A and B are shown apart, each in its own frame.
Chain A
Amino acid sequence: MTSDRNGRRVVITGVGVIAPNGVGTDDFWKATREGATALGPITREGCEKLPLRIAGQVHGFDAEGAIEGRYLVQTDRFTHYAMAAADLALADAGLGDGPEDPFAVGVVTAAGSGGGEFGQRELQNLWGQGPHFVGPYQSIAWFYAASTGQISIRGGFKGPCAVVASDEAGGLDALAHAVRTIRRGTDRVVVGAAEAPLAPYSMVCQLGYRELSLAADPDRAYLPFSADARGFVPAEGGAMFVAEAEESARGRGARIRAVLAGHAATFTGASRWAESRHGLAHAIRGALEEAHCAPDEIDVVFADALGVPEADRAEALAIADALGEHAARVPVTAPKAGTGRAYCGAPLIDAAAAVLAMEQGLVPPTPNVTDVAHDIDLVTGYARTAELRTALVLSRGLMGSNAALVLRRP
């Protein structure tokens, strides 16, 4: 992404995280760095009797304090998180006062499940009381594009807007789309994803995933790369960023936090985890090529870490296929073992952690995992100090997408 034919380098100037282990980037990083786990019983109304017991639930998020009433009534929880994370990212980028030129700012989000909680409430009104009891905001709140639309309206951003409706890997694809948008001439894009799949209807939809962990012990439910891996734990929340043309960022004296250096995506089919080895390796090679990055320049890998033995093996092999001998030396981490997988939000939370890790020179650990059953240098226990210039973030989706992102320190 740094030097294709359009030349424009794209950087990250703002980071905003709403995650199970922290509302706000500082709290999130503190918990991530320490390897704290935020997995626990799902406490939302109507979820008590479902077989899915453990998830990464966001605690301590004050929606009324963060979002104006007029936007709260129109939107689902997934959009509340996205709007709040966008505010954090914009404030971090020094753009909290609104755009000088509305057409110079676009919005891109990714979404894997939309507004299931809002939709369920309105559909229950429909079948329980009748069509007259369905509110007009049902028409927009459940929709995958709702967060993009509401962030755009609320912030007054009139540049190009888009939504990537996809599986987990779509979070990284949204960043790539933001880069392309900036290459076409837009100065800045508010980009990211947040999800809220912890409501009865949304959870029932997930019960069909054979990769889902139904374990009841929060410390044992999600153990990627270990011999006890038994599936993944879902989560809510996500991260938003301000992506910006480098010359625009430098022109206004903004702090550049990272460079969006390379991305590539492939597709290998839903739940075909053995095949994901080649798809993911191909994505890594593509991202490295776009970043003009040699394999041994990668200083840390944020793994997809599905927690399914076959998928973990495929990922370890993909890293080895793409990075060669360097794969044996590069530290690999999966902080999401402590937060769960927030679908499209998951790789963006990882991207936020990667930005912070490079700034702090610290590889955060993989919570709860003590034994490593694959041939990778997985960071467990405590954070590891390291000089980090380049980070690789990996993501695979349950529907078969694979994506890789290369981030560089500015």
Chain B
Amino acid sequence: MDHHLTHEELAALIKSRAGITVDPAAIGHPEATFDEFGVDSLGLLGIVGELENRYGTQIAPGAEMSKTPQQFLDAVNASVKTGA
């Protein structure tokens, strides 16, 4: 599977799974943290589950503990690449 999770897709997942509206541009800010958006690890766990179902592959454990959107995107995109 060749897919790269984008800021826009992550923003849509945060909305649908964690109920929080986040501007995709804010996600792309290098200093951005999940804390400031109010997204906690249970919220990220729901997003991980959704991505695993969508891509049909496992995402490496620990992605839900990411502190920043960049860490999360890196973890997810690395898993999707190796899992493909």
Shortest Cβ distance from residue B16 to the other chain A in the assembled complex, whole angstroms: 8
**B17 and A73 form a contact (CB under 8 A):** yes
- Asked if residues A137 and B46 are in contact (CB atoms below 8 Å), the reply is yes
Contact of A69 among B19, B42, B45, B46 (CB under 8 A): B19
- Give the residue among A74, A133, A140 with the most B Cβ atoms within 10 A: A74
Residue of A nearest to B44 (CB): A136
Q: Are B19 and A73 in contact (CB under 8 A)?
A: yes
B21 at the interface (CB under 8 A from A): yes
Chain A: minimal CB distance from B78 (Å): 20
Chain A residues with Cβ below 8 Å from B46 are: 135-137
Contact across chains for A132 and B19 when beta carbons are under 8 A apart: no
What's the Cα separation between A134 and B38 when bound, in Å? 22
B24 CB-CB contact with A under 8 Å: no
Q: How many residues of B contact A (CB 8 A)?
A: 14
| B18:A73 contact, CB within 8 angstroms | yes
Asked if B20 and A133 make an inter-chain contact with CB atoms under 8 angstroms apart, the answer reads no
B53 touches A133 (CB 8 A): yes
- Asked if B49 contacts A71 (CB within 8 A), the reply is no
Does A70 lie at the interface of the complex (its beta carbon under 8 Å from any beta carbon of B)?
yes
A133 to B15, CA, bound (A): 17
Are A137 and B20 touching (Cβ within 8 A)?
no
A72 at the interface (CB under 8 A from B): yes
How close is A367's CB to chain B, nearest CB, in angstroms? 38
Q: Are A72 and B49 in contact (CB under 8 A)?
A: no
Residues of B within 8 A of A140 (CB): 42
Known contacts A135-B46, A136-B46, A137-B42: does B19 contact A71 (CB below 8 Å)?
Answer: yes
**A68 contacts B19, CB within 8 Å?**
yes
Contact string against A for B residues 1-43, beta-carbon threshold 8 Å, 1 for contact and 0 otherwise: 0000000000000010111110000000000000000100011
Give A68 to B19 CA distance when docked, in angstroms.
8
A69 to B42, CA, bound (A): 15
- Are A70 and B20 interface neighbours, CB within 8 A? yes
**What residues on B are CB-neighbors of A136 within 8 Å?**
42, 45-46, 49
Expressed in whole angstroms, the Cα–Cα distance for A221 and B42 within the complex equals: 44
Going nearest first, the 7 A-B pairs with the smallest beta carbon separation are: A69-B19, A73-B19, A70-B19, A136-B45, A136-B42, A70-B20, A135-B46
Extra contacts, 7 of them, besides A133-B53, A136-B46 (Cβ < 8 A), are A68-B19, A70-B19, A70-B20, A73-B19, A132-B53, A134-B49, A135-B49
